């Protein structure tokens, strides 16, 4: 259900995009009746609007789903952890949330290893493909396989010669991440000559992660695994309001999509 809504919302990624019902069904590969039911729910809850020429995002939804300002608590809680990681490693540190098949970068701290590697460190508010980044893969590993299949039905675009570009390979990679307790690696998959390590933040319905990377060998980053797991667990603990870090419930959506889902009646989910 979450993946179907995310798939439909992703159709409206281009600013000012407007589509008819049949266009949305074709682009998502979902049954026309399913698309119609979801669109009706999104209309009622104010996430999209309908005009004679087609459906489009409402002004509020368009702004919220693309803005780091949508996640003030996550950014506030994670800030000291990101700073500590940066001071300890001198590398590029990121915080991001899942947005469709991309990661929305909420925060970034650049270090000495970032010089000349702008491709590694996306700007705050920018987006990077989830399947080609450690940030994204750490998040995707928290989702069930069927949601991965639905999200990436349109395909996995290559960003470098080493980008994963087929679903079977992506599923294998996500399985390895789960076996590593959620640690994800990126080895020249977004930009050649760069690598990153990430761990997922799991609390209050979030699909988020933190990462460290730069123009360094992956072998060096692998040694940071315990540090990354502790950092992610600390953010999870603070967000959950727990005194001790416990095994969290699997997250269901990113912040905007989570808020969207909470506006839909439970019996209307499809």
DSSP calls for 62-107: HHHTT-GGG-HHHHHHHHHHHHHHHHHH-SEEEEEEEETTEEEEEE
Q: Is 117 inside a domain boundary?
A: yes
Do residue 113 and residue 147 come from a single domain? yes
Same-domain status, 203 and 88 = yes
Q: Is residue 169 part of a domain?
A: yes
Residue 236 sits in the same domain as residue 137: yes
* Residue range of the domain that includes 15: 2-64
Q: How far is CA 118 from CA 85, 130, 181, 190, 193, in A?
A: 19, 17, 29, 11, 12
In the structure encoding, which two tokens stand for residue 115, read together? Answer: 């010089």
pTM of the model: 0.67
Nearest to 3 by CA among 22, 30, 27: 30
Q: Specify which of 38-47, 56-65, 158-167 reaches the highest per-range mean pLDDT.
A: 158-167
pLDDT (0 to 100) of residue 227: 94
9-23, 104-118, 171-185, range with the lowest pLDDT:
104-118
Query: Which letter, b or e, does each residue of 89-110 get, where b requires 16 or more Cβ atoms within 10 Å of its Cβ?
Result: bebbbbbbbbbbbbbbbbbbbb
Provide mean pLDDT across the span 28-55: 84
Residues 195, 170: contact at Cβ < 8 Å? no
115 in a structural domain: yes
Is residue 52 domain-shared with residue 83, that is, in the same domain? no
Percentage with pLDDT > 70 across the chain: 76
**What's the pLDDT band for 211 if we cut at 50, 70, 90?**
very high
Query: Is 252 part of a structural domain of the chain?
Result: no
Residue 126 shares a structural domain with residue 56: no
In a domain, 251, yes or no: no
Task: With respect to residue 247, please indicate whether it lies within any of the assigned structural domains.
Answer: no
Answer whether residue 161 shows pLDDT above 70.
yes
Same domain, 193 and 93: yes
3-state helix, strand and coil shares in percent for the chain, rounded to the nearest 5: 45, 15, 35
> Does 139 share its domain with 185?
yes
Residues 83 and 163 in one domain: yes
Distance CA 23, CA 265 (A): 26
Task: Quote the number of domains for the chain.
Answer: 2
Q: Tell me the mean pLDDT in the region 113-128.
A: 61
**How far are the Cα atoms of 66, 126, 196 from residue 211, in angstroms, in the given order?**
20, 15, 7
* pLDDT average, residue stretch 156-165: 94
**Per-residue pLDDT for 213 more than 80?**
yes
Residue 80: count of CB within 10 angstroms of its CB: 12
The string over 236-253, giving b where at least 16 C-beta atoms fall within 10 Å of a residue's C-beta and e elsewhere, is bbbbeeeeeeeebeebbb
Per-residue pLDDT tens digits for 44-62: 666 787 877 888 876 555 5
Q: What value does the mean pLDDT of the chain take?
A: 80
């Amino acid at each position: 259900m979450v993946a179907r809504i995310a798939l439909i919302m992703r159709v409206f990624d281009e600013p000012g995009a407007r589509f008819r019902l049949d266009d949305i069904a074709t682009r998502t590969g979902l049954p026309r009746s399913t698309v119609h039911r979801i669109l009706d729910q999104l209309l009622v809850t104010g996430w999209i609007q309908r005009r004679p020429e087609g459906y489009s995002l409402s002004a509020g939804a368009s702004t919220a789903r693309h803005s780091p300002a949508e996640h003030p608590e996550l950014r506030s809680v994670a800030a000291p952890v990101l700073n500590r990681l940066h001071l300890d490693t001198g590398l590029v540190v990121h915080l991001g949330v899942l947005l469709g098949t991309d990661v929305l970068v909420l925060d970034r701290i650049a270090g000495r290893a970032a010089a000349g590697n702008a491709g590694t460190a996306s700007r705050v508010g920018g987006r990077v493909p989830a399947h080609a980044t450690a940030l994204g893969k750490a998040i995707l590993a928290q989702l069930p396989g069927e949601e991965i299949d639905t999200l990436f039905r349109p395909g996995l675009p290559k960003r470098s010669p080493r980008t994963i570009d087929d679903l079977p390979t992506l599923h294998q990679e996500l399985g390895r991440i789960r076996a590593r307790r959620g640690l994800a690696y990126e080895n020249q998959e977004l930009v050649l000559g760069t690598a990153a390590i990430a761990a997922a933040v799991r609390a209050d319905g979030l699909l988020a992660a933190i990462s460290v990377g730069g123009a360094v060998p992956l072998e060096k980053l692998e040694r940071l695994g315990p540090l990354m797991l502790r950092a992610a667990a600390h953010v999870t603990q603070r967000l959950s309001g727990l005194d001790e870090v416990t095994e969290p419930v699997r997250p269901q959506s990113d912040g905007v999509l989570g808020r969207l889902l909470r506006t839909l009646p439970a019996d209307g989910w499809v």
